[in-house]
Amino acid sequence: MKSLSEYVKKGLFYKPVVEVGSDIIFIVRYEGLILYCNNSVKQLGYKESSIVGKNFFDFIDPSFEVDFKKEFKKSTNRRFTKSVEFQFKCKDKSYKFFEFNSINLKQKDGLEGLILDCRDISQRKKDADELLRAQKAKELFLANISHEIRTPINGIAGMADLLNQNPSAEDQTLYLKAIKTASENLKVIINDILDLASIESGKLKFEKIHFDLDKTIRSLVDTFRLQSNEKGILLEYHKHPNTPSVFIGDPVRLNQILINLISNALKFTHQGSIHIAVSLEQIKNKDYYIKFEIKDTGIGIHKSKLRTIFESFSQADASVTRKYGGTGLGLTIVRQFVKMQHGSIKVASEENKGSVFTVVIPYRIGIRDEQTSGGKIGLNKTLQLHNASILLVEDNDINRLYAGSILRMWGCPFETAENGEVAIEKFKNSHFDLILMDIQMPVMDGFETTKVIRKWNNEKSKIPIIALTANATQKDIDKCISLGMNDCLTKPFTQDDLLKILGKHLGNKFHVIHSLSQHASNKQHDKVDFSYLEKVSGNNKDFIKEIAEAFIKSIPNSIHDLDKHADHENWIELARIAHKIKPSITLLGVHNLKDKIVKLEEEAKLHKNPWLINKLSKEISSELRETLDSLKIQISSYS
């Protein structure tokens, strides 16, 4: 037996390295003739004998051949060459990615040939291509999302600027609706991003509460009804009779799933219908597998794109993004929400014919209670918080104004503080039942302020503290709770969000009563609806009385002018008077007169139909007189 030293000395260890190694070794003449290849060529489907004697260049992908020959020629003039990439044809006619490192035999032994050590880099290239594709998708998403965020922000800024130019009451309502719509769109975008971040961090949690499935979906469908009617799309909902209604689960996440799927159907359907069907697919153990099917007659999805539409930052086509907008996150979030509830989702689609998205989620049977029966507090009632005192700690002027206006509208005593130090001073010297605490503030932030309060040596230290934060990930919420806060209200929040959280933590100090406007508007003889004035004034009775009394004082002159200009057929002046009355009618909520006033103004400007103008003028005068009488009675008892 040879000694190890002799084995090394004779260089015999090279043989197993070359013949048994995973790299494919070739010895190739300068002109390309293959003189040798090792056993590893089997991974390409060849035997060694079938390769030797052939030209190396005949196995190179033709699209790479010219560039490869240039690199190969350079290698013949160098001692060593590293990392030259190429594609080599396998026995099955497919190509694999390789890179070679070469040793030039001429430099050492005077032989015109190269030893090529070829390493398979197919997986590396695949990973690089996938990374590049993901990077491009992400870049497209970022460009997309910046556009999607800028659009509602521009709308909000533009409408706010118009509101600052003293528009009519009617235009004010229009601008405010536009601001509300834009802010809701912005909130959807931000929530999509936050939901995806929560999903990827593994922090997303699902509630298990009793809810009425049928009522949840009907309410959701009703919210889309106006949009579908505007597009002329038939929107149908059907729940199979064999499907129970009350389950245990997370209705909010179900809402998000269905909102995404229905809004997509509406977005991509220009004619025809959208059908939402709910049925019981199967019962397994105690789980009821509920199937939700959203079927549309829209533009459909090309079969090559069906595999990628559920991926992050992806839409079926970049042109779809440009034409229809969207973050490209909706279906990703839907799939994750479904998966995390142990459900399934699939899609079937045909271009120009439509799509069907099918979601199956298992739920346990629930019990009907006050919440599922619709007995929860809603904003159609007026919240009265006279017995609760709140400290609002917020450094942002607009956020402080917004939250303060809601509390004022609800009749809640409150004080404000612009940072933690001011909050501590007010907390020392006054009694509060709850603190709404912003997190990021100058001087002393919300976390530090909470720590100081919790160290108090009396009952005051147990006061409920609700975090107000724009950092809405589960990690941020967990941090707030761990540092002594009782709950979290994420910005931007709605009145309903604030309502729920106060109801949860204020106990018996939380009261709801019907508003006076509801009582008044239910009376048959009342012609004025104060609900708009109550809303914009924070239910300020003195303000409403002042507006009503100004109307009572000014409208008789307007009635006189209407009659005079109609009798004299002075149509231009009649149109001017109608235009002057219109904002007051809108502001006071004289709904039965609004359309007639608008019609009178239009007809008087055209002055083509004197008979209709006179008829409208007389009807409006008569109804204004009745409105005056009714308003005098209403305002005398309004307190």
Phi, psi dihedral angles at 125 (to 5 degrees) = -65, -40
Indicate if 493 and 587 belong to the same structural domain. Answer: no
Indicate if 218 and 354 belong to the same structural domain. Answer: yes
Of the pLDDT bands very low, low, confident and very high (cuts 50, 70, 90), residue 386 is: low
CA gap 114, 248 in Å, rounded: 72
Indicate if 218 and 285 belong to the same structural domain. Answer: yes
pLDDT at 106 over 60: yes
Q: Which helix (H) or strand (E) holds 278?
A: strand 273-284
User: Which domain CATH number covers 21?
Assistant: 3.30.450.20
Average pLDDT on 395-408 reads 80
Q: Which residues lie below 8 Å from residue 75, measured CB to CB, with a gap of 6+?
A: 81, 84, 102, 104, 114
pLDDT at 122 over 80: yes
CA gap 477, 472 in Å, rounded: 7
* Structural domain range at position 143: 126-201
CA gap 111, 103 in Å, rounded: 11
In a domain, 98, yes or no: yes
Six-digit token string for 329: 């996150």
Average pLDDT on 445-450 reads 93
Q: Rg of the Cα trace of the chain?
A: 37
Indicate if 501 and 594 belong to the same structural domain. Answer: no
pLDDT at 21 over 90: no
Indicate if 177 and 270 belong to the same structural domain. Answer: no
* Minimum mean pLDDT range among 56-60, 235-239, 272-276, 305-309: 305-309
DSSP assignment string, 190-246 = HHHHHHHHHHHHT------EEEEHHHHHHHHHHHHHHHHHHHT-EEEEEE-TTS-SE
Indicate if 236 and 354 belong to the same structural domain. Answer: yes
User: Which domain CATH number covers 483?
Assistant: 3.40.50.2300
CA gap 393, 311 in Å, rounded: 41
Q: What is the pLDDT of residue 142?
A: 65
pLDDT at 612 over 90: no
Of the pLDDT bands very low, low, confident and very high (cuts 50, 70, 90), residue 452 is: very high
Of the pLDDT bands very low, low, confident and very high (cuts 50, 70, 90), residue 276 is: very high
Place of tokens 């040793």: 103
| Number of structural domains in the chain | 5
What region does 463 belong to: left with phi over 0, alpha with psi -120 to 50, or beta?
Answer: beta
Residue type, 320: V
User: Which domain CATH number covers 290?
Assistant: 3.30.565.10
CA gap 532, 540 in Å, rounded: 12
Q: What is the pLDDT of residue 519?
A: 38
Indicate if 191 and 339 belong to the same structural domain. Answer: no
Average pLDDT on 456-464 reads 87
In a domain, 370, yes or no: no
Residue that finishes a domain, picked among 95, 120, 145: 120
Residue range 297-323, pLDDT digits in tens: 998 888 877 777 776 555 444 444 444
CA gap 370, 377 in Å, rounded: 10
- How much of the chain is helix, strand and coil, in % rounded to 5? 55, 20, 25
Six-digit token string for 633: 């009675």
Q: What is the pLDDT of residue 380?
A: 41
Indicate if 358 and 414 belong to the same structural domain. Answer: no
What's the mean pLDDT when you consider all of the chain?
80
Q: What is the pLDDT of residue 319?
A: 46
Of the pLDDT bands very low, low, confident and very high (cuts 50, 70, 90), residue 345 is: very high
Q: What is the pLDDT of residue 522?
A: 40
Average pLDDT on 33-51 reads 88
